[in-house]
Amino acid sequence: MNLAATYDIPQPMEAELSAHILVVEDEVAIQELIALNLTQAGHDPQVAGSAMEALDRVQDMLPDLILIDWMLPGMSGLELVRRLRAHQRTQQIPIIMLTARVDEADKLLGLESGADDYITKPFSIRELNARIKAVLRRRAPQMTGDPVIFRTLSLDPGTHRVHAGHQEISLGPTEFKLLHFFMTHPERVYSRTQILDHVWGDHVFIEERTVDVHIRRLRSALEGSGHDELLQTVRGAGYRLTAQP
């Protein structure tokens, strides 16, 4: 099989924020090509050759996005998507299905099973990169390098700067990630466990009260500009960033 004739040769790209992406594909040549392209795009790819291997990998560390081939040995990619969506720990992971099935009925089946997007083979590497960006912007916007604005707060991941109006706010790396997460998920309440999973990663084992410490530090940094009141404590539930303090 001539991969160069079927898939675009990967080209260096300007990277977004690095995402941990699991590639579930049993054809080694395609697996390696996708992994190479993701690396050149600035991401951290991991590979699995079967659905069972993929399930083992997500037990160790949750990826930011999963690419799943439909036709896999043993369990199909479709069934893998259903299993991931059936468990609370994995149900929010963005998923893109890769498949040679081109019928509209198959595409609908893939999307109805819980996939966020569906790409047919042979596909363009440029298209794959664009779809990954689109899904991350929609499902995990904190993983992109896009500047974010919330009321008069602005945050730029590329320059690692935060401004309240014209005033620059100095934040430590964890407080920056915490604010980035809240600004890309405003008005929703998140528990300490959810915040730990999204900001620190589910593979990091630290006390939930650590979240409280960094929330206090973030509020202290925002206090001078009056934005600390936007970060609310919801008793018995967690925290949220709101435009209506």
CATH of the domain at 70: 3.40.50.2300
Q: What is the 3-state secondary structure (H, E, C) of 41-61?
A: CCCEEEEECCHHHHHHHHHHC
DSSP label at residue 9:
P
The count of structural domains within the chain is 2
Is 158 in the same domain as 205?
Answer: yes
Query: Last residue of some domain: 88, 114, 141?
Result: 141
**Per-residue pLDDT tens digits for 156-179:** 988 889 999 889 999 998 999 899
Residues spanned by the domain of 26: 3-141
DSSP label at residue 101:
-
Is 15 in the same domain as 135?
Answer: yes
**Per-residue pLDDT tens digits for 117-159:** 988 888 888 888 888 888 887 766 666 677 889 999 999 988 8
Is 202 in the same domain as 101?
Answer: no
Query: Last residue of some domain: 116, 141, 166?
Result: 141
| Helices (H) then strands (E): counts for the chain | 9, 11
Q: Is the pTM of this model over 0.75?
A: no
